[in-house]
Amino acid sequence: GDSVTQTEGLVTLTEGLPVMLNCTYQTIYSNPFLFWYVHYLNESPRLLLKSSTDNKRTEHQGFHATLHKSSSSFHLQKSSAQLSDSALYYCALSNTGNYKYVFGAGTRLKVIA
Amino acid sequence: EAAVTQSPRNKVTVTGGNVTLSCRQTNSHNYMYWYRQDTGHGLRLIHYSYGAGNLQIGDVPDGYKATRTTQEDFFLLLELASPSQTSLYFCASSEGSSNSDYTFGSGTRLLVI
């Protein structure tokens, strides 16, 4: 079945440094949809960005990700971390005809001053 | 504004107790989902539904029942609660297409003592 792997459970960064959260996936289908959700403490998880287009950069709120089907990856990046970026980030996968996501285990990003 | 509302926000029950978690969505979405969130495991799907009267089994259904009484309302039932069910529970809704966003509720924190 489909799976999503987020290799880092916790990423601790100093403010101003670049962010990269890893996401790789496995699926037998050729047109997956990939999502990044962000969960701030005491809030609801919400969509950060999504893509189904190979090799196209998607951006939102200073974050960006590019779906690379050749490497089955959808890494989340930001040029400069801010304290307010501290949150739990989930990568998720869905496929045509499948109405439930497969979530990764999540990566907690902690940004320190 | 479209929303997913969960109640209660917090719940404490004893082992063997009976608990019902409620979720209501005003998004006119077909699909509703119940997840539990645990450190190291991320979001795990318990049950989901694509309409009133429908129920689909998720990935971690043991010990949980669910019922979708209307388009808007989806309930999660723990009939013999156990400490292993201590968790943060999220309800979500979506339109049900492969690239649909999820709208999450604010979560219910359950403690089983």
Number of domains in chain A: 1
pLDDT in tens, A22-47: 999 999 888 999 999 999 998 999 99
Q: What is the structure's pLDDT at B2?
A: 58
Number of domains in chain B: 1
Q: What is the average pLDDT across B67-90? A: 97
**Which two tokens mark A46?**
């919400």
CA distance A14 to chain B (A): 23
Residue A102 is part of which domain span? 3-112
Residue B1 has pLDDT above 70, yes or no: no
Q: Chain B residues with CB-CB distance to A under 8 A?
A: 4, 31, 33, 40-45, 48, 50, 58, 90, 94, 96-107
CATH code for the domain of B99: 2.60.40.10
Identify the CATH number of the domain in which residue A83 sits: 2.60.40.10
Give the pair of three-digit tokens for residue A111: 């940004």
| DSSP summary character for residue B85 | G
Structural domain harbouring B88: 4-112
